[in-house]
């Protein structure tokens, strides 16, 4: 009997923990991503950008999840670099992008690259 009670308590704890985790995920804002596709036109200027901008991502709760300077397109025309930084929320990504520190670093990016960047919330496909 004691073994059954312990097993039942363990099962209930796992179920309650899973339900609480699901509620936490439902309440949390979706992750956000800053995505860029660009060609580097000035290596020295881009190095200045990386030196200035790289530490700022983590300071705003983000992390770079993709950086590939040798992209190969499978459809359409691609720029040579793809970069994706993930942030806890759209607000965090926007705070990063609009921060005075990143605004200064961004000038190196603008002068040394050609391409595009976006900030978007992550979401699944429509059902």
Do the domain assignments include residue 17? Answer: yes
Q: Please tell me whether residues 77 and 110 are part of one structural domain.
A: yes
66-73: long-range contacts, CB 8 A cutoff, minimum separation 24:
69/40, 71/37
Q: Report whether pLDDT(21) > 90.
A: no
Q: Mean of the pLDDT values across residues 2-20? A: 46
State pLDDT tens for residues 47-103: 999 999 999 999 999 999 999 999 999 999 889 999 999 999 999 999 999 999 999
Please provide the average confidence, as pLDDT, over all residues in the chain.
84
Do the domain assignments include residue 127? Answer: no
| Residues of the domain holding 75 | 31-121
Looking at the structure of the chain, the number of domains it has is 2
Q: Please tell me whether residues 95 and 108 are part of one structural domain.
A: yes
Q: Please tell me whether residues 17 and 41 are part of one structural domain.
A: no
Predicted local confidence at residue 26, as pLDDT: 62
Predicted local confidence at residue 29, as pLDDT: 82
The verdict on pTM exceeding 0.85 is: no
Q: Please tell me whether residues 6 and 38 are part of one structural domain.
A: no
- The answer to whether the CB of 94 falls within 8 A of the CB of 47 is no
Do the domain assignments include residue 11? Answer: yes
Q: Please tell me whether residues 112 and 99 are part of one structural domain.
A: yes
Higher pLDDT, 14 or 74: 74
Q: Please tell me whether residues 39 and 78 are part of one structural domain.
A: yes
How large a percentage of the chain has pLDDT more than 70?
76
- Rounded CA-CA distance 72/79 in Å is 8
Do the domain assignments include residue 90? Answer: yes
Residue 36: which pLDDT band, with cuts at 50, 70 and 90?
very high
Q: Please tell me whether residues 39 and 10 are part of one structural domain.
A: no
Q: Quick one: 93 exposed, middle or buried, by C-beta within 10 A (0-12, 13-18, 19+)?
A: buried
Predicted local confidence at residue 28, as pLDDT: 80
Q: Please tell me whether residues 47 and 36 are part of one structural domain.
A: yes
């Amino acid at each position: 009997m004691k073994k059954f009670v312990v097993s039942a308590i363990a099962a209930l704890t796992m179920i309650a923990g899973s339900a609480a985790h699901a509620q936490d995920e439902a309440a949390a804002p979706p992750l956000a991503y800053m995505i860029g596709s660009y060609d580097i036109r000035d290596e020295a200027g881009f190095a200045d950008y990386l030196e200035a901008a790289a530490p700022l991502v983590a300071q705003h709760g983000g992390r770079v999840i993709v950086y590939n300077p040798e992209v190969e397109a499978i459809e359409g025309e691609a720029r040579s670099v793809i970069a994706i930084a993930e942030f806890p929320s759209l607000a965090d990504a926007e705070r990063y992008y609009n921060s005075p520190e990143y605004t200064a670093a961004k000038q190196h990016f603008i002068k040394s690259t050609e391409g595009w960047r976006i900030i978007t919330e992550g979401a699944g496909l429509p059902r």
